[in-house]
Amino acid sequence: MISQNQRVLVFSAHAADFCSRAGGTIMKFVEAGGTVHVHDLTYGERCESTALWAREQKPTIEEVKEIRAGEIERASAIIGTTADCFDWGDSPLVIGAERELHLLECIRAFKPDVILSHWKDDIMHPDHAETTRAVIFASSYCGSGGIETASEPCRRPTLYMYETTSGTAPVSRFLPDTFVDITDVFDRKRDALKELAAQPVLVGSYEVIGRYRAMEAGTTAGMGGCKYAEAFVKFGTSGGSA
pLDDT score of 216: 97
pLDDT at 15 over 90: yes
Angle at 73 between CA 32 and CA 210, to 5 degrees: 55
pLDDT score of 236: 73
Domain ranges in the chain are 7-234
Rounded CA separation 74/61 (Å):
20
How far lies 104's CA from each of 38, 113, 129, 152, 195, in Å? 15, 14, 17, 11, 30
Over residues 22-47, the mean pLDDT reads 98
pLDDT score of 192: 98
Task: Quote the distance between the C-alpha of residue 148 and its chain's center.
Answer: 27
Percent pLDDT > 70 in the chain is 98
| pLDDT level of residue 239 (50, 70, 90 thresholds) | very low
Rounded CA separation 81/38 (Å):
7
Right CATH for 7-234 from 3.90.550.10, 3.40.50.300, 3.40.50.12780, 3.40.50.10320: 3.40.50.10320
pLDDT at 211 over 80: yes
The H or E element spanning position 37 is strand 35-40
| pLDDT level of residue 158 (50, 70, 90 thresholds) | very high
Report pLDDT digits (tens) over 105-115: 999 999 999 99
Phi-psi region of 4 (alpha: psi -120 to 50; beta: other; left: phi over 0): beta
pLDDT at 242 over 60: no
Supply the mean pLDDT for the chain: 96
Over residues 214-228, the mean pLDDT reads 96
Over residues 21-38, the mean pLDDT reads 98
Over residues 48-76, the mean pLDDT reads 97
Rounded CA separation 83/77 (Å):
9
pLDDT at 240 over 60: no
